[in-house]
Amino acid sequence: MPIACRPILATPDIFDLFVPYETRSRILGCLSAYDVAKLDLSLGGLLHNQRDRRRYLNPVRDLLWDLVTMKGLIRDGMKLVVFGKDVCTWKDRVNDERYLTRNRNARKKVRLFLVGTFPIMGKSEETLRKMIGFTINGISDELRMFGDRYQLKRIAEDLAVADDRDKPFLMAFGAPLDPYSETRSGSWFKVTDVPESTVDLRIYVPTFTDRLWEEVRLPVHQIPRCFGLQLVRSIFAGKTHVRKAYLLETGVQLIENSVDRRILIRLNIFLIGSLL
């Protein structure tokens, strides 16, 4: 919930609540990074040192509930990429005092688009099971899990006799699957249960074809949200419009250039950029 930066909050009674380490750790651990940043600004000096700031002001805490599982899977090769015009705002706002003061009572949304991949070959069955089952809120759709495991098996069998053993598998994050809907193209699913309410998060749910071709499809109506452009044709002036960042164990790292050009972004018949 929004926390107003008023002097009345910085009373000895409230501040004393955060003095015991265990109490303070439990309270801050239940808040999003953005709420902790506003609370620290309100009380003044709530976060004692840089270690506290790295722990509680990690922007990834605004997107995912289970950072422990995420960190373990990233060490095993999973990649999470966010992109969109608000990536820099989301990354920097927890350390931007002017932004926090200006928006202390506002519920201005930051719109982010999340894509996940993991390597198929060279991983144990248990690791692959965990990566397929990784979700934003800890809730996975059983029908989705069954379909993803089947598609992973098909692609892995092809890779066993192919040269491209580095091929990644596009994740679906356990998004709900409608068994009565014939899905012919990938779609963006809005996640309603994220730790920070000012984050409008969309995850990409790929089709089998997307996974084969390593492509993410972007509808025309999402162009302004992704790139901040009013005219679709402006995108084709260059590929620097794609603001993107990796979610890492230690936080967020902006991606300046895509080196291996894995996972292409497709707008209808046009390839307009790459994510990895």
**Tens digits of residue pLDDT in 198-228:** 999 999 999 999 999 888 888 877 777 776 6
Q: What local confidence, expressed as pLDDT, does residue 240 receive? A: 45
Q: What are phi and psi of 247, to 5 degrees?
A: -90, 120
**Tens digits of residue pLDDT in 260-274:** 556 777 665 555 566
Euclidean distance between CA atoms 171 and 135, whole angstroms = 9
What is the identity of the amino acid at 237?
A
List the end-to-end C-alpha distance of the chain, in Å, as a whole number: 34
**Tens digits of residue pLDDT in 163-192:** 677 889 999 999 988 766 666 778 899 999
What integer is the mean pLDDT of 158-165? 74
11 in helix, strand or coil? coil
Confidence check: pLDDT of 144 > 60: yes
Q: What local confidence, expressed as pLDDT, does residue 6 receive? A: 39
164 in helix, strand or coil? coil
Q: Which two tokens stand for residue 257?
A: 């250039």
Confidence check: pLDDT of 145 > 70: yes
Euclidean distance between CA atoms 53 and 25, whole angstroms = 12
- The gap from C-alpha 170 to its chain's centroid, in whole angstroms, comes to 14
What integer is the mean pLDDT of 244-266? 76
* Lowest mean per-residue pLDDT among 4-13, 62-71, 105-114, 168-177: 4-13
Q: For the CA atoms of 39, 97, 229, 215, what is the dihedral angle to 10 degrees? A: -60
Euclidean distance between CA atoms 214 and 211, whole angstroms = 5
12 in helix, strand or coil? helix
Is 42 within 8 Å of 3 (Cβ atoms)?
yes
Helix 125-132 crosses helix 142-159 at what angle (to 10 degrees)? 130
66 in helix, strand or coil? coil
Confidence check: pLDDT of 11 > 60: no
Is 257 exposed, middle or buried (CB count within 10 Å of its CB: 0-12, 13-18, 19+)?
Answer: exposed
Q: Which two tokens stand for residue 132?
A: 């397929």
**pTM, 2 dp:** 0.83
Helices (H) and strands (E) in the chain, counts: 11, 10
CA-based R_g, the chain, Å? 20
Domain ranges of the chain: 7-57, 67-274
**Tens digits of residue pLDDT in 223-240:** 777 766 544 454 444 444
Is 21 within 8 Å of 47 (Cβ atoms)?
no
Q: What local confidence, expressed as pLDDT, does residue 262 receive? A: 66
Q: What local confidence, expressed as pLDDT, does residue 256 receive? A: 75
Q: Given the structure tokens 């972004």, which residue do they identify?
A: 265
Q: What local confidence, expressed as pLDDT, does residue 22 receive? A: 73
Cβ neighbours of residue 79 closer than 8 Å, sequence gap 6 or more: 116, 117, 118, 168, 246, 276
DSSP 49: S
What integer is the mean pLDDT of 37-61? 87
The length of the chain is 276
